[in-house]
Amino acid sequence: MASFLQDQPVVAEVVRNGLVESVHHGVVVGLDAAGNVALQVGDPGRVIYARSSSKPIQAVAMLRSGLDLDGELLALAASSHSGEAFHAEGARRILAAAGLAESALQCPPALPMEPDDLARYLRDGGEPDAVLMNCSGLHAAMLATCVVNGWPTDTYTEPAHPLQEVIRGTLEEFTGDRITQAAVDGCGAPLFGFTLLGLARAFRALGLGAAGSIERRVADAYRDHPEWTSGTRREEARLMRAVPGLVNKAGAEGVDALVLPDGRTVAIKIADGSQRARVPVAVAALRRLGVDDPGLDALQTSPVLGGGEKVGEIRATI
């Protein structure tokens, strides 16, 4: 059976030396400050896996369950980090505060993502390590939440574990969707399916969190520590620095979600799973919602290279 994603509109095109070489299909939904659908490209009502774009809501669920994190470590708990040295040290701090060793992590071992960090790490004799995996902050926070509640730590990635049941219920609450689809994410944690519109609703609730609320704690951790939510040089951090107050969390397979403090929200799914189209489409969607911060200019297209030089661009078509 063909996926509905194959039938979605073109949202970005890849131009090389003036010729459209490739296109990316996808789905985009934007909510205005009142929560109304102000932008719709494709069908946002079909179920997708939001992948790591779910992490801020997972963090809300863990804070509600007694997890005691704020600031940079809370940002790390809701991150897909690059495995930089400070990310790994932060995950170790979360584990140590809970009285746990790194061996408690059940995410797979990995290497740093940034080329310079990777070269340095390998030059120093480093090997793949779970604490470097981009979801180690989430897994460390999950383990710490289990310790607070007296839940088993050796089965924390199982869908029937009390922690995962709390996360599932929180995702249903925030998305407004009933979750009937589940899978295993790349990091080994449970993954729950809901609609792209549901993801937008969830992010809007996060962005509008009242002062002192758990939602605001998560959103402010993102806003104050963007490099902890992704990486020093990552596009998500660049977007958050470009637009004051923006919360941005990308996910694997071309998913992205963004929300402003006034409730304007964007959610994106690139049909072929490509990450390269994600940021130009996100910038175009933000502009369609009236966001005109000049810092977006440098992110509205991505370069296409030929011989090491820019010969074209990836640009949104929405």
Number of Cβ atoms within 10 Å of the Cβ of 23? 15
pLDDT per residue as tens digits for the range 152-176: 999 999 999 999 999 999 999 999 9
What are the residue boundaries of the structural domains of the chain, listed by start?
Answer: 4-316
- At 1 the pLDDT is 37
Place of tokens 């992010």: 203
- Please state, as a whole number, how many other Cβ atoms lie within 10 Å of the Cβ of residue 168: 17
**Whole-angstrom distance, CA of residue 242 vs CA of residue 294:** 8
Please identify every stretch of the chain with a pLDDT value under 50, giving residue numbers as ranges.
1-2
C-alpha to C-alpha distance for 246 and 265, rounded to whole angstroms:
10
Residue 3 is predicted with a pLDDT of 62
Quote the pLDDT of residue 4: 63
pTM here?
Answer: 0.95
Q: Does domain 4-316 have CATH number 3.40.710?
A: yes
Convert the pLDDT of each residue in 204-230 to its tens digit.
Answer: 999 999 999 999 999 999 999 999 999
